[in-house]
Amino acid sequence: MNRSASTDVVSMPSGLDDLRREITRTDRELLALLNHRARLCRQVGRVKSAADQAVFKPFREKEVLEGLVAENPGDLPDDHLRTIYREILSSSRRLQQPQKAVYLGPEGTFSYFAGRELLGSSTDFEPCPSLETVFAAVAGKKADLGIVPLENSLSGSAGQNLDLFLRYGVHIQAEIYLRISYHLVGAGTGLAGIQTVYSHPRAIDQCAAWLSSHLPEAHVVFVGSTAAAAREAAGRPDCVAVGHRQLAAMFSLNLLAGPVEDAPDNWTRFIVIGHQAPAGGSRDKTSILFTLPDKSGALVSVLSVLARGGINMKKLESRPMRSEKWQYLFFADLECDLSDDEYADLQAELVENCQTLRVLGSYPAGLHLNDC
Ligand SMILES: O=C(O)C(=O)C[C@]1(C(=O)O)C=C[C@@H](O)C=C1
């Protein structure tokens, strides 16, 4: 989109005092508008609560954000606008009903940062000790939402999630792609004298070349998460942790080096799970889990149903079923909203051709966030 900044220079005050007076006046206007918006959102909340609807409406949030970005004159960059609105939407959900979101902890993991990027800081985030406890908390309605890493562009799927989807009746509500960039954080002031490097095995693996060329003598210790690594390194100047750069501020450490990953184009796809399927919205994306009858051409017939419906399959993955040896489970991402009435016949055809089919959710395609 070709946009020019809307600088109406002629009517702009130019002295510092005048400019500040104008900013104060503008802030008062914003305050009144934000309060008006908050009142409307509370009212929406009452309507939703009477209809037993979920507070989080990802399709509507995408519509709100995309509508604003499309009309943004450009003095305020789009990414700033998105950051401001992430917090407005987060506050607006909280005004309707406080939302508890669980994630694979402890605080400071990439799942934690993904959750904050997607849901904003008015959400109550609570760490869980395992992925299974995240699924169990959402399925048992102990939390409204859960944030789960689904796949990484370098190391592939977090396969355990697929098993958990089979065991817990949760739905995918939204997704976000986060660039995974690692930094070295520690209590010291430089790399000289570093004896020990703490991190999660995947982080160490993805930074192996950098570590062996910059800290060849250091002893590597694997811990359960990058956040746990920062906790280990806190207060010990001869130790460092590899993790998110914000761990430095969270654990009062120094940012010693970074980015330190060997392949910079490293992304993780996170999903948000909830107890209800998200309603309405644009035709974005649907994830399904299915098993097949044990006969020739079973997979081809499912793929043919999708091809005849003109549906683009973005991902297909098979996993062994834990309950039965040499039986496989398929996970697919489809570029459509399968919950739309227009796909009712196609879905019936899929059911006919699969042994079991579970629609995990239709949800808005997520943004790729480069820097968070
Ligand atoms: O439209 C709604 O359902 C709202 O609750 C309002 C609103 C918003 O602030 O615009 C807030 C939360 C939802 O996730 C989506 C949008």
Instruction: Note whether 284 and 365 are same-domain residues.
Output: yes
d(CA 231, CA 240): 10
Across 335-340, average pLDDT: 86
Top-confidence residue, 351 or 158: 351
Same domain, 290 and 216: no
Please give the tally of structural domains in the chain: 2
Paired strand residues for 102: 126, 146
Best residue for ligand 1 mutational test, from 37, 52, 64 (most atoms within 8 Å of Cβ): 64
What is the Cα–Cα distance from 187 to 239, expressed in whole angstroms?
A: 7
Neighbouring residues of 28: CB distance < 8 A, sequence distance ≥ 6: none
Q: Are residues 158 and 271 in the same domain?
A: yes
Q: How far is the CA of 272 from the centre of ligand 1 (A)?
A: 16
pLDDT-derived band of residue 2, with 50, 70 and 90 as boundaries? very low
Q: Are residues 173 and 208 in the same domain?
A: no
pLDDT of residue 341: 87
What pTM did the predictor assign?
0.91
Coil/strand/helix, residue 147: strand
Residue type, 60: R
Please name the residue that has the structure tokens 């399904």. Answer: 288
User: In this structure, what DSSP letter does residue 218 have?
Assistant: P
Average pLDDT, rounded, for the chain: 92
Best residue among 33, 92, 94, 363 to mutate for probing ligand 1's pocket (most ligand atoms within 8 Å of CB) is 92
Query: What's the sign of the alpha-carbon dihedral 214, 220, 224, 227?
Result: negative
- CA dihedral of residues 345, 349, 354, 359 (deg, nearest 10): -10
Question: Are 152 and 196 contained in the same domain?
Answer: no
Is it the case that residue 110 has pLDDT exceeding 90?
A: yes
Q: Which of 212, 231, 255 is the last residue of a domain?
A: 255
For ligand 1, the distance from its centroid to the CA atom of residue 362, given in whole angstroms, is: 18
* HSE-CB for 169 with a 13 A CA cutoff: 3
Q: What is the dihedral of CA 37, 43, 49, 51, to 10 degrees?
A: -110
Q: Check whether residue 163 and residue 276 sit in a common domain.
A: yes
Minimum CA distance residue for ligand 1 atom 8: 89
Statement to judge: residues 162 and 273 lie in one domain: yes
3-state secondary structure of 176: strand
Q: Final residue of a domain: which of 196, 226, 255?
A: 255
pLDDT per residue as tens digits for the range 173-219? 999 999 999 999 999 999 999 999 999 999 999 999 999 999 999 99
Q: 367: phi > 0 → left, psi -120 to 50 → alpha, else beta; which?
A: beta
Cα 97 to ligand 1 centre (Å): 12
> Mean pLDDT throughout 294-302?
94
Q: How far apart are alpha carbons 229 and 108 in whole angstroms?
A: 10
Cβ–ligand 1 distance for 225 under 6 Å, the answer: no
**Strands in the chain per DSSP E:** 100-104, 124-128, 145-152, 156-157, 171-179, 183-186, 196-199, 219-222, 239-243, 254-257, 267-274, 285-291, 313-320, 328-334, 356-363, 368-369
- pLDDT tens profile 48-59: 999 999 999 999
CB of 63 sitting under 6 A from ligand 1: no
What pLDDT score does 4 carry?
A: 47
Among residues 339, 370, 350, which one has the least CA distance to residue 172? 339
pLDDT for position 157: 81
**Same domain? 271 vs 239:** no
Residue 225 covered by a domain: yes
Q: How far is CA 38 from the centre of its chain?
A: 25
Write out pLDDT tens, residues 235-254: 999 999 999 999 999 999 99
Best mutation site among 44, 52, 63 for ligand 1 pocket (most ligand atoms within 8 Å of CB): 44
State in Å: Cα 365 to ligand 1 middle.
Answer: 18
pLDDT at 7 over 60: no
The answer to whether the beta carbons of residues 203 and 152 sit under 8 Å apart is no
Query: Are both 332 and 239 inside the same structural domain?
Result: no
41 lines ligand 1 (CB under 6 A): yes
Q: Which domain, by its residues, includes 198?
A: 184-255
Same structural domain for residues 109 and 133? yes
- Residue 157 resides in a domain: yes
Residue 97 CB–ligand 1 contact under 6 Å: no
CA of 1 to the centre of ligand 1 (A): 27
Ligand 1 atom nearest to 88, measured from its CA: 9
Which residue's C-alpha comes closest to atom 3 of ligand 1? Answer: 57
Asked if residue 237 and residue 319 are part of one domain, the reply reads no
Contacts with 147 (C-beta within 8 Å, 6 or more apart), sequence order? 101, 102, 103, 104, 111, 112, 114, 115, 118, 119, 134, 270, 271, 272
Using 50, 70 and 90 to split pLDDT, how confident is the model at 283? low
Distance of CA 213 to the CA centre of its chain: 32
Nearest ligand 1 atom to the CA of 37 is 9
Cβ-based neighbour number of residue 345 at 10 Å: 11
Is residue 82 within 6 Å of ligand 1 at its C-beta?
Answer: no
pLDDT over 60 at 1, yes or no: no
